[in-house]
Amino acid sequence: MNLTVRDLAVARGGVPVLEALSFTLAPGRALVLRGPNGSGKTTLLRTIAGLQPAFEGEIEGAGERIAYAAHSDGLKSMLSVTENLRFWAQVFAQTDIEPALDAFDLRGLEERMAGTLSAGQKRRLGLARLMVTGRPVWVLDEPTVSLDTASVARFAEAVRRHLAEGGSALLATHIDLGLGEAQVLDVTPFKAAPRVSLEDEAFL
Ligand SMILES: Nc1ncnc2c1ncn2[C@@H]1O[C@H](COP(=O)(O)OP(=O)(O)OP(=O)(O)O)[C@@H](O)[C@H]1O
């Protein structure tokens, strides 16, 4: 199933920040949002994740298909790394946290309280949670903040695997993730953005 956005306008504080936005994101595809600070990327992602209503337009294929990773890691600081992952796995009716521990290099940190982790380790744990949601559409806001080069590469690899398994990813980022074949959508406030269809693009 595609994620489809049609003639979408999104607003913060009642003020539209983006409008006339349309795109289709098919299974196996990634779309990177690019735009200057304040251009509305976070607002768009929050709207697609269902955290705020659309100002105008339609979103299809979102709802319970979305796993959203916001700017903040949203961890439970008094729970250990494994307890955090188990908690989230339970919320999403999943059981296996082992692949997430491996993918985000959390081995050796399993029993550490999340609150005692470094910023980059917290971010790795926050991103590892995506893998225990079982949800097909990853919506990611600046996912690589605080990550070192090796962790960025691990993250990109996790995204690639997710796409290869039929998932999709919508990401706002200012840095090059090395997802060479990902489509890029330039977000320009108050101007009609180009229509993007990822259905016919080569597999990432
Ligand atoms: N809580 C809020 N209330 C009112 N306006 C807000 C709020 N949060 C953000 N804005 C404004 O909405 C606009 C879009 O912000 P948004 O965070 O979506 O941009 P962004 O493209 O994600 O920026 P960045 O690259 O800096 O993260 C900006 O002008 C911002 O100042």
State the sign of the Cα–Cα–Cα–Cα dihedral 58, 45, 29, 138: negative
User: Is 204 among the domain residues?
Assistant: no
Take atom 27 of ligand 1 and give the residue whose Cα is closest. Answer: 37
As for how many domains the chain has, the answer is 1
The CATH number given to whatever domain includes residue 193 is 3.40.50.300
* ipTM of this complex: 0.94
Positive or negative CA dihedral for 19, 23, 28, 33? negative
> pLDDT by residue (tens digit) across 145-188?
999 999 999 999 999 999 999 999 999 988 888 776 789 999 87
pLDDT of residue 108 exceeding 50, the answer is yes
CA 5/CA 104 separation, integer angstroms: 31
Residue 112 CA to ligand 1 centre (angstroms): 34
> Distance between CA atoms of 58 and 39, rounded to whole angstroms?
20
Within a domain: 202? no
How many angstroms is it from 25 CA to the middle of ligand 1?
24
pLDDT of residue 74: 85
Question: Which domain does 78 fall in, by range?
Answer: 3-197
Q: What is the pLDDT of residue 49?
A: 97
Q: Which residues pair with 30 in a beta bridge?
A: 169
Residues whose beta carbon lies within 6 Å of some atom of ligand 1: 12-13, 17, 35, 37-43
Quick check: 199 pLDDT over 60?
Answer: no
- Look over the chain and give the mean of its residue pLDDT values, rounded to a whole number: 90
Distances (CA, A) of 109 to 8, 62, 129, 134, 152: 42, 33, 15, 23, 18
**pTM here?**
0.90
